[in-house]
Amino acid sequence: MKVGVIGVGMTDFGEFWDKSYRNLIVEAGTLAIKDAGIEGKDVDAAYVGSMTPGLFIGQEHVGALVADYVGLRGIPATRVEGACASGGLAINAAYNSIKSGEYDIVVAAGVEKMTDVSTGRATVALAGAADQEWEAFHGVTFPGLYALMARRHMKEYGTTEEQMAMVAVKNHENGALNPHAQYRSTITVKQVMESIPVADPLKILDCSPITDGAAVVILASEEKAKKLCENPVWLKTSACATDALALHDRESLCKTEAAIRAGRTAFKKSGLTPDDIDFAEVHDCFTIAEIMAIESLGFCPIGKGGKFTEDGETKLNGSKPVNTSGGLKSKGHPVGATGIAQACEAVLQLRGEAGKRQVKDAKYGLTHNVGGSGATCVVNIFAGGDVE
């Protein structure tokens, strides 16, 4: 049985003092339900990705909250948490609940309100995704963890700071074409290189921002999807994997093993290969993360991600467009919503509705959503409605 995507909706991403957590999810949910052409009573269940609302806004128990305010009161509604991969895991849970035959129409939602607290408090909240005893307790932040990975990647493979900067430049070019993006301005390699240092070799323009936002996708069984949509997008497969939480316990700092495993499983289950993928949304929380992602997913050999980027292969007109939405770097990174927003972009691309950032003749799209420094990864593969 196939699983279709019958509706998507997302808010703008940014810093919204006039919108609450529930305002954001209501906005995205209303858009998704309207896009699907259904009513709330048609939905069987919901899974809500939200990383740490308790620390950001003092609110837990958000499954029931979201169901209530989006007009779904009474249905089973479960919060799903996997750090920054919470949204991807919500899609995975929704997908598996339909594949099992339990439900026909399921909401996968993601939401985070991050800017109501100080940067210091946000840093503490996000540090919960690292190993508390071995990393966070000693003051290592996520820029520090990814800086360690970047330095090792540079030493082993010759990756340069300029190549990492090119990731940021490319994603801002794409984000400038996305009306939902937090940052819609272009930047240059020189600006990235001269921006404020955060954790050597990463600068502020190598880092994704703190963001408010919500996104929702509505999945349906094959029978329901065909009944409700003329040409639904299909979620061919959803795969997730894990790795050691602490960096020092991993086989290598230069590879994200969870992404490698999730990618291999997704390709095996879908019957596709990396060459079949026409575009990808990957988890570029830092520029080095995108380079490691495209290597882990098999779009280029391990250690060649910097050169692949430098050669323009990941640009909108390249052989493998990556982060057509602008990615986390430009579109924004409301941690619980990120994986859902990636899926929204995949659906728009496969419908041919991505506007100026549209990938020509796109048939297959992939999303790659990572939790923390890579301990969790979800890979979803989507296919256009006219593709088996």
For residue 59, the SS3 value is: coil
What count of other Cβ atoms lies within 10 Å of the Cβ of residue 85?
33
Per-residue confidence (pLDDT) for residue 388, from 0 to 100: 62
* AA identity, residue 238: S
Domains and CATH numbers, the chain: 3-118+210-233 (3.40.47.10), 128-209+236-383 (3.40.47.10)
Which residues in the chain land under pLDDT 50? none
Residue tagged active-site, from 153, 172, 180, 333: 333
Per-residue confidence (pLDDT) for residue 1, from 0 to 100: 86
- 333 is a catalytic site residue: yes
**CA 88 from centroid of its chain's CA atoms:** 7
- Is 288 within 8 Å of 149 (Cβ atoms)? yes
User: Residue 339: in which H helix or E strand, if any?
Assistant: helix 338-351
- 240 is a catalytic site residue: no
Burial bucket for residue 173 (CB in 10 Å: 0-12, 13-18, 19+): middle
Residue 215 vs residues 112, 329, 360, 361: alpha-carbon distances, Å: 10, 17, 25, 25
Q: Measured between alpha carbons, how far is 292 from 252 in angstroms, rounded to an integer? A: 12
Residue carrying structure tokens 């806004």: 57
Residue carrying structure tokens 């006039």: 18
pLDDT tens string 106-129: 999 999 999 999 999 999 999 999
pTM: 0.98
For residue 209, the SS3 value is: coil
* AA identity, residue 133: E
For residue 119, the SS3 value is: helix
For residue 9 the two structure tokens come to 């909706």
